Amino acid sequence: MALKVGLTSLKFENGVNIKSVSSVAGTKEGEGPLKEYIDILVNDNLYGQKTWEKAETEFVKKAVETAAQKAALSLNNIDYILAGDLQNQSAASCFGVKDFKRPFFGLFGACSTFGEGLSLGAVLIDSGCGKNVMCEASSHFSAAEAQFRFPPELGNQRPQTSTWTVTGAGAAVLSDEGSEPKITGITTGKIVDLGITDANNMGAAMAPAAADVLLNHFKDFSAAPESYDRIFTGDLGSVGSKLLIELLREKGYDIQKQHRDCGMLIYDSDKQDTHAGGSGCACSAITFSMIYKRLLTGEYNKILFMPTGALMNPSSVAQGESILGICHIVMIERQV
């Protein structure tokens, strides 16, 4: 039974079991520091398809299938699939999960989607609405660049504040039984608008939302940075991470020791020329494979996983709207 904690959090007293976690990624991710944690590394970012969009669909399919296999479950035993991505009208998710014929809730939280999925998935399991829920999120560098900025073939120069959209997908099966690491609470983010309008500086747009939800979380749970082994933001990158640390410091919290950003972990920015780091729904969703593994082995006992999202589209930017930020916190413990 979920317990309302403070103003924006829920506590799951028995914890919601994370039965399995999967990740499928592209070439650049396979050359990065997290390669050993990724289940399937694809050596062709088109994944045998004719378009980047269809390739992303394949990443989605493979991530969902792999998570089900690792949980030793048939897809028929999945009560709900919750998924989302960055393509217009969440096309990668819709086409990616259609053949599984499971009850489907489509989500849109930009790059925070995996956090949103784990949050709502935990509610569905905790409340007895399902025994097994699949949460999935994906992104594709080339599909995202063409849609949000410029086709990669154009060879536009990328500013140092820009991030590199991760190609791939990550999934997790939440379950009402098992002894794996558990989701023990969530803090749901509000949209924060600080007036950032540079689509090449998403980190700055998202950092205030991450700061806001983290402060709410500390308050709701009477917690502090020291309560956690690690605090993982989704894809703030180096620019946004610095800003987050500063914003928290102003409020009296020093998170530097615990804080890591999935966008700064997934690539070696200096060697891989990814500037401020990785981004995209798949950035946190794929890095989650490493986090989960380290929870399983006991390297971490209690962490916060907080995927960050930048809410915008090219028309909203062209019409002078700012880029909105959102971030959802998922609290995960090795043992409950």
Chain residues that interact with its own copies, rule: CB under 8 A: 1-4, 8, 10, 50-51, 53-54, 79-80, 84, 86-91, 94-95, 97-98, 101-110, 116, 119-120, 123-124, 126-130, 188-191, 193, 311-316, 319, 321, 324, 326
Torsion angle of the four alpha carbons 325, 200, 111, 308, in this order, in degrees rounded to the nearest 10: -40
CB 296 to its own copies: min, Å: 28
Nearer to its own copies, 32 or 189 (CB): 189
Q: 3-class SS at 156?
A: coil
Nearer to its own copies, 80 or 253 (CB): 80
Phi, psi of 319 (to 5 degrees): -90, 10
Nearer to its own copies, 1 or 154 (CB): 1
Instruction: Judge whether 7 and 174 are in contact, CB under 8 Å.
Output: no
CB 33 to its own copies: min, Å: 30
CB 190 to its own copies: min, Å: 5
Rg (CA), the chain: 18
Q: Which residues make beta-bridge pairs with 21?
A: 172
Query: 3-class secondary structure for 221-253?
Result: CCCCHHHCCEEEECCCHHHHHHHHHHHHHHCCC
Nearer to its own copies, 174 or 290 (CB): 174
Please name the residue that has the structure tokens 């020291």.
226
CB 315 to its own copies: min, Å: 6
Q: Which residues make beta-bridge pairs with 190?
A: none
Distance CA(162)–CA(176), nearest Å, equals 40
Nearer to its own copies, 99 or 299 (CB): 99
CB 295 to its own copies: min, Å: 24
